[in-house]
Each structure stands twice: as C-alpha cells, then as structure tokens.
Amino acid sequence: MQQHLADKNIALDLVRVTEAAALASARFTGLGDKELVDRAAVDAMRIAFQSIHIKGTIIIGEGEKDEAPMLYTGEKVGFGDGLEFDIAVDPIDGTSCVAGGRPNGIAAVGIALGGSMFNPGHSYYCEKMAVGPDAAGVIDLDAPIKDNLEKVAKALGKEVGELKVFVLDKPRHSQLITDIHKAGARVMVHSDGDIAGALMAVDPIADIDMLVGIGGTPEAVVTACAIKGTGGQMLTRLAPKTEQEREAIIKDGVDLKAIRTVDDLITSDQCFFASTGVTPGDLLEGVRYKGEYAITSSITSRGRTGTRRYIHAWHDRKKLSQMSSIEY
C-alpha cells in the first residue's frame, strides 16, 4: 500500500488546488484590491486541500498562526491519510498583478516528502539565478553578471545579445539591469511574479533564457519543487533587506552565506508542483470565461520523473460552486 502511495502522481490532485485558487481569485481581477484577491485564493485553496489524500504540514504559508487564519505555518492540511508531506503555498504569486489587471499572476503550490523541504524561517528575500537544462552547471552567484551571461550564451549556442533575462522591476535591481544592458543582453522586466519568471527560465518552450535578481525566499522553495527533476538549475542565497530580518535568520540558526541549489531546498525527489494562471502570462493563460464556463491553464511537474504536464480545463462554475462551497 505504501509503495502504491509513493508511486502516485499527486501533482494531478494538486492542480485542483491551484485551479480552485485561480478560479476564486480571478473574479476580482482588475478591481485594485490585493487583499480581496489573496483572501479568495487562500479560502479556496484551503478547502480544495481537504480532498487530497495526504498528511500535509504547511512549512511555507500565509504567516504565523496569529497572523493568518488559514494556511498558516504549521497548519495540517489534506484528507489526513496517505504519506506525510511538507507544503509550500503561494495562493497568488503576483497579487498586485491580479488586482491591477496585469500579466503573470498565478496560483502555485509545491509539496515534498515530509522533512525534505528547506524551512526559510524568517527569511523573506534571497538572491536567485535560474536557467534551463542546456545551461545548467555554468552559472555562478559569485561571478559578475557579464561572465554569467557569456557562459549561458555559449551553453545555449547564442550570442549574448540574443539572451532574454527576466528581472523584477524593483529599485534594488537598477544596477543589475544597467550591467545586463552593458553586457549586451536583453532585460525583460516584470513588476511581480518571480515564480513565473523562474518557470519560464527553465522551460525550453518559454522565450526566457535566464532569471536573475533578488526575490522571495518562500517563492524560491515553491519554485524548487517545480525545477526538481527537470534538469534546470537554480542557485539561491539569502539576502535580508533589513537588520531585523538578518538578526531573525541568525537566531533561527540558518546560514546566511550558503549558496543553496534545488537539491538543498528540496532533498527528496518525492516532490510535486502545480500552478494555474490567473491573469494572462507568457507561460500560462489566465482564467477566461465563456458563459457558465471558466477556462484554466495549468502546469504540473513531478520530481521523481521530471514529467511536466500542461493542462487546459473547462469548468462548469455553477456545478463546482454547488459541490465545494467556493464561489467561482
């Protein structure tokens, strides 16, 4: 029985969780209310988790128990049977994107066998660099960006000027963007959504060659679940923005200087990832409506096999709402 459970592709169950979050939150696209978007996604995701046959513990969630009524760190989710899993959720990566009606808002979940997921504790920001399988092994967080771009270009059989680099459009990246331009590469700036950016960087179908910059540490762990087994590479290093964050990390006993790979963030190949588009993006389409139906675009991946699936689904909103008590 345990062997059967270990062989089950839970990603196919997990995608229903991200579909629920995407469908519930998409109703508030473009209304300018980030809290409303996030709350709808969290509520739907929490309910959807109840149908999955796992014993899940939230490692990365919406905050501490006194800060978040649902999907808080340490909360138990799942049906309560099956294998034990660590869970990292990002009900909406890019709440500003959804609230503002901008591209690349997604719902995302990563899970890994119990005890195998890196717990970032009080770390909220980290350096990141991600590339696809063809450039894996050539990047270096300690090297100048120019050197990394040249090595990635060579590995991909491209000129540096052909590279497209995903960078979050934040003040902290002004010098990085200048340096990338000086090296001759193209910068594709996005206001939010570094999970989507990393997924595009490691996906041979997407038109992004590399992700660079400082983004969320929790998002890095979710992303690691997606990259595990694909042959892509992501390097991370904690980068606290404030002295308070730095001191909290040190108190947690987490090494600030360590460069962590995907295998450091997720130590087991028993890991799964699912993501569903909320607003239209470069990798996933957003939720679309046709009468009583809603159409979603999702991606799932499984660490053990490296298999990725793209799922295009039509949902009868009335029937779903009746079955699950979630308003779609």
Chain-centroid distance of CA 235 in Å reads: 15
Q: How far apart are CA 217 and CA 117, in angstroms?
A: 13
pTM given for the model: 0.93
pLDDT, tens digit (0-9, with 9 covering 90-100), for 212-245: 999 999 999 999 999 999 999 999 999 999 999 9
5: pLDDT strictly greater than 90:
no
pLDDT for the residue 62: 85
pLDDT for the residue 1: 43
* 319 to 9, 81, 222: CA distances (angstroms): 26, 27, 31
For the chain, give the mean pLDDT. 94
The alpha carbon dihedral of 9, 308, 108, 324 has a sign of: negative
Q: How far apart are CA 113 and CA 200, in angstroms?
A: 25
* Burial (Cβ within 10 Å: 0-12, 13-18, ≥19) of residue 145: buried
102: pLDDT strictly greater than 90:
yes
With a pLDDT cut of 90, the percent of the chain lying above it is 87
Q: How far apart are CA 146 and CA 167, in angstroms?
A: 15
Work out the number of other CB atoms within 10 angstroms of the CB of residue 78: 22
By C-alpha distance, which of 250, 287, 308, 291 is closest to 106? Answer: 287
Report helix, strand or coil for 92: strand
- DSSP H/E element including 294: strand 293-302
Domains by residue range for the chain, with CATH: 2-117+270-324 (3.30.540.10), 125-265 (3.40.190.90)
